[in-house]
A and B are shown apart, each in its own frame.
Chain A
Amino acid sequence: MSDDPDKVWPTGLTLREAEEVHSYLIDGTRVFGAIALLAHILVAVSTPWLG
């Protein structure tokens, strides 16, 4: 099981599978990050803080 060179320890996913799972994480971070940024800008426009 752990000897398969194509599999990533410890999940048992293959390299491609692991990379795909990771790509969802990256995508999600980007999208949620962009949304959070936009939301903060809009809140700052209507009710500015720190100033």
Chain B
Amino acid sequence: MRIILLFLCCFINASWAEDYSPWLKEFRPSSLSQQQQIEELAWFKQAAKPFQGITIRAISERINTHWYEATVIAPLFYQLTGIKVIHELSSEDDVVKKLQSQMDLGINYYDIYVSDSDLIGGHFRSNKVLSLSEFMREQGKQVTLPSLDVNDFIGLAFTTSPYNEILQLPDQQFANLYWYRQDWFARPELQQQFKAIYGYPLAVPVNWSAYEDIAEFFSKHVKQIDGHKVYGHMDYGKRDPSLGWRISDAWLSMAGMGDVGLPNGLPVDEWGIRRHGCRPVGASVKRGGALDSPAAIYAIQKYVDWLVRYAPPEAQKMTFSEAGAEIAKGHIAQQIFWYTAFTADLSHPDLSITDDNGKPLWRVAPSPRGAYWQPGMKSGYQDVGAWTLLKSTPLKRQQAAWLYAQFNVAKTVSLRKTMVGLTPIRESDIMSPEFTQRSEELGGLVEFYQSNARNEWTPTGLNVPNYPALSALWWQYIGRASDQKEDVSKIMQELAKSMDAALAKISHETRGACSPKLISSQDEALWLAHPGSPKPKLENEKPPGKTLAYSELIKQWQP
């Protein structure tokens, strides 16, 4: 009897070992067939054998996609592989600080990070981030998924060094797009009123002049819709780290401060930093940068003016996370740029910005461009959170963590994760019938990601040599304009000067072929007369407002 029981026990265990139903049940839809999924799952199970019993720590920012990873994918990965994952969720600022501390001190706080690719300029210069290209060829070869298919990742260009080495593996992506209430814009009485005041149709703004007019229209002329107070603009202004992202992510690029070039302006990028070869050489106009140029002052002045004149008064004291919840309340007509990572949060049927069937009453469209913008420049910001291994992490832990990273983006898992978090990373997911079918409920997100426009919305690039060190400057200075109402022109001069000083400090601390090296200061007029950025002040910074029907604009996004 005992022998029979023993046999039964072993038989059941063996059957369980081959039973992938918990994973197949959760990870659907998938771009793979069920048999291909089983093959991938079996590969992970086999590859993880040397690491069973190990516990690894991962950290990422707090968005829906990472909540799904931490609460669903990590436990299923553990069940499959025996590798336990503590997947921590924290604020982006905290993730950056921990990563930077580990890079500076060499202490293994985490085994793997989901780090925004905005840090790529520092990553490739630091020599502290593991080259995934090399790792996949050598020490990580045995733990690299044969069906990973790196060419399927749409954001790989943003995570690759100038030496063509992949430094980070994309895990989630989202863009900053214009957001507006299509149902309000479509109301005949509002269309007539707008045309009567401004002389052109109420539709999606193509330039900042139109955005400003629409903001004024809703805040100062319409004032109330269906008995409720409404506003023509939403933003936030509290002197807090999250304010910095607002500006460095997209404001200055949309205004047109930098040079033409994709993914980032060259030689001057959207941070206003000039690069000679691979060396950053200055941010102030005196050093050929653009951070205190007329275009930068124009951009920040508009940001402050719109916040004060057209946003709800409480927005001036709000942070990113506080402001994020506002548009769901249904009193905002438009927002110049909005992070699509929150698409799922705005699609609940019980919100006042969705109809009775749960379909959105809002749409996303390309963000309007400022007076200095020229064709060939980036059109906005895209966030690419990507798996990043540091050289200071012990090899065995790197290997186990790499398995976890790949599991989160493997084709077995990826489409399901995309459907939950709406932050697509793979071409195969984006073009899948399942994602395409959600077009109607996602207000333009599907069309954006299926088009080539996604390549014009780009992260911070190679001109920024140390993102954590330099990003702290943004919120500290811009906050003085938004929160304390100091003079914008003076603040931008001080910010540019501080950015130059910070670049000089980095050049002393990290010496290398691509480390910053400030060029000597010259008369600003010489640089302003020079072609490209920094650009001289335009005689007219408010050209006539221009709008386009959503149906026309969306054509730009059709494949």
A binds B: no
